[in-house]
Structure 1
């Protein structure tokens, strides 16, 4: 991580503590795990055409992740897939739409949850992880900016 990168988990915690005048606490709070959404990417190998570069994107709430993955593995075959990315996110639907739009603009074949790189592309899993991570950070920056804007609006209203 570069020196100018921000750890958004720490920044959110600091900002919300200042915003609501919450004193720091050593005890971690328990959150309802069923409300946490996860977004993930699976690398898919087509056994009939191994030169195709395919990825499958998915999202689900925390308790449904294993069920979702087993359904995908059953459809495409577990030995043909490996998970390359999984992160919790504010909105799995929103991040999925952002990822699909990004690759559609790059003239990739996007159908449902499948992403296919153009023929003879040198694109690989490492590049996919970097792009998805960047899109995830953009989503978090957008949420952070929204919270800052709302806080500044409330602060100017009361002062």
Structure 2
């Protein structure tokens, strides 16, 4: 059996996921998500993109929820919820922080406040940023604001470009 060295991107992703997992209570749903995401990142079949951590967390969450539903349907879990299936705010923020270039600009509270001030009252941009920071998906943000998902995507793109301008200035 031959062993391959992990690429720097995979090493950084595993380290980020281990740090996230270390901040969770063992046995909690968020702990299990981070743990499973580590396995996904280590897979040779997973492409190394800029969103390696984010995609692994999303996929791990989806797989574990499907697994729970399957077990529940087979009568293997009690009827009452034994774990919280909602992603915690901290996990969502870690997912957002893994995205580039937003993480470079919104990772700290101070930077977030600067970006929020820069957005001012530009339509839906501040509300979109807040939802993104809080881990809302496209659909949740669109429903909350009463706009389409495509428009939320467009707003997030505009937020990225404004954040990038802040870094260059």
TM interval, shorter chain, is: 0.3 to 0.5
Rg comparison, structure with higher value: 1
- Higher RCO structure, 1 or 2 (CA under 8 Å, sep 6+): 1
Q: Give TM-score scaled by structure 2 length.
A: 0.31
Select the structure that is richer in strand.
1
Structure number with the higher helix fraction is 2
Task: Provide TM-score, normalisation by structure 1.
Answer: 0.33
